[in-house]
A and B are shown apart, each in its own frame.
Chain A
Amino acid sequence: MNDLKIVSTQSTPLIETDSSRGVIYMEGDSYPENSFEFYTDLVNWVSAYLNDSQRPLVLELALLYLNTSSIKVMMDIFDELEEAHQGGRDITVNWRYDVDNERVAELAEEFKEDCSFAFNIIGQE
């Protein structure tokens, strides 16, 4: 399947996928005006990956600030991962943040509340 390699802009994060290793990498801020449009490719990639095989999926996140429409899209993605996890899929989220910025940890924590798969929030000095 085709992997994504989306470079970051001031208001959108870097997004890379690696279907051979089962990894999604996202880094930066996300506050595009039209988040649903921006995230269409990623949402489609996740669905295709989950349909394609039973292999594990790991999300390596270093996201900082998300506007509410980006939060909505991410929640939709996490919901789909949760459903896959309920179906026996191995899903892991590793969300790294700078320990000086507790808002990022709080944001990650609110997503984690609704997920039963491995969701690691990792503070870095």
Chain B
Amino acid sequence: MFVPDLYGLRERFDNEKILLCFNGPISRSLIEEIGNALRNYLKSEQASPASAIDVFAVYIELTQNIRHYAMKAELSGADTATVVVSFHEGHYHISAGNVVHLADGEALLANVQGLAHMDKVELKKLYKQQLRKPRDEDAVSGAGLGLIDIARKATAPMVPALKDLENGTGYFSLSVQI
């Protein structure tokens, strides 16, 4: 039988200062439960209420974006999310990724790169503009505000990545520092 190298996995988690990691199909209830675990962890680590709320907010926007994308993308495996929260050099880092249509990934990459270079004043202006836009009738959520909100909370430019999986799809991920 196959025996996973749990100690090796644990060592990697410890070395990378990973507090929380999830990989698998993400559901609404899992987002809530993992979010709850994250909040309890932040509380026990005595993170300030402001950073606890920021970390939680980024986690929620990233994972709900994946859920909304998976529901409309009609792409097998798009709902399998990888989520990592770690703590390095005084900052929390939240990363999440999933499989996307390559063209969607490219558009997202350009969008995130654009946001990552805007300052807080420009981001606030864009956020308010987006808030005022009438929402599409059939859009269940995706208020279009999530990425801008994440960019506003980030304490360093967000880092997106897109790995071409060479079958018309790609693995998109986004890392955010709080």
Contact = CB atoms under 8 A, between A and B. Distances in A.
Interface residues of B, number: 27
B7 to A, nearest CB: 34
Most chain B CB atoms below 10 A, which of A36, A68, A100: A68
B111 interface: no
B136 to A, nearest CB: 11
Contacts of B19: none
Main secondary structure of the interface of B (DSSP, over half): helix
A44 B146 CA distance: 25
Interface string A18-34: 00000000000001011
A103 interface: yes
Nearest to B139: A36
B50 A102 contact: yes
B38 to A, nearest CB: 12
A8 interface: no
Interface residues of A, number: 23
Given A35-B141, A37-B140, A68 B146 contact: yes
B56 A71 contact: no
Given A101-B49, A104-B53, 12 more contacts: A11-B32, A31-B35, A33-B64, A36-B135, A36-B141, A67-B146, A68-B143, A75-B132, A101-B50, A102-B49, A103-B53, A114-B128
Interface of B: 28, 31-32, 35-36, 49-50, 53-54, 56-57, 60-61, 64, 67-68, 128, 131-132, 135, 140-143, 145-146, 149
